[in-house]
Amino acid sequence: PPPQTTEKEVAIEAVNLSFKYPDGTLVLDNINLKIYKGEFTIIAGLNGSGKSTFALHLNGLLKPTSGKLLVFGMDTKKRQNSSAVHKKVGIVFQNPYTQFVGNSVEEDVAFGPENLNVPRDEIKQRVSDALSAVRLTNLSAQDPSSLSGGEAQAVAIAGILAMETDCVVFDEITSMLDHKATERVLNIMEELKNKKKTVIYISHEPKDVLKADRIIVLDKGKVTFDGKTNEYIRSEKYPLPDLIHFMKLLKDGGYDVSEMVSTPEEAVEEVRKF
User: Which residues are near ligand ADP by CB under 6 A?
Assistant: 21, 23, 25, 27, 45, 47-53
Residue 57 Cβ, how far from ligand ADP at the closest point, in Å? 10
Least distance (Å) between residue 173 CB and ligand ADP:
12
Closer CB to ligand ADP, residue 140 or residue 203?
203
CA distance 176 to 87: 27
Nearer to ligand ADP, 41 or 49 (CB): 49
Could you give the count of Cα atoms lying within 13 Å of 144 in the half-sphere of its Cβ? Answer: 26
**Contacts for 149 with CB less than 8 Å, ≥ 6 apart:** 96, 176, 177
Of residues 52 and 140, the one with the C-beta less far from ligand ADP: 52
Cβ pair 168, 112 in contact under 8 A:
no
Distance CA 232, CA 225 (A): 8
Give the angle subtended at the CA of 114 by the CAs of 95 and 76, to the nearest 5°.
Answer: 65
Q: How far is the CB of 253 from ligand ADP (least distance, A)?
A: 27
SS (HEC) of 232-258: HHHCCCCCHHHHHHHHHHHHHCCCCCC
Q: Which is nearer to ligand ADP, 52 or 81 (CB)?
A: 52
CB of 73 to ligand ADP, least distance (A): 25
Q: Which is nearer to ligand ADP, 156 or 247 (CB)?
A: 156
CA contacts within 13 A on the Cβ side of 141: 1
Taking the complex as a whole, how short is the minimal distance between the CB of residue 47 and ligand ADP, in angstroms?
4
| Smallest gap from residue 149 Cβ to ligand ADP (A) | 19
CB nearer to ligand ADP: pick between 195 and 237:
237
Q: How far is C-alpha 160 from the chain's CA centre? A: 12
Measured in Å, how far apart are the chain's first and last C-alpha atoms? Answer: 18
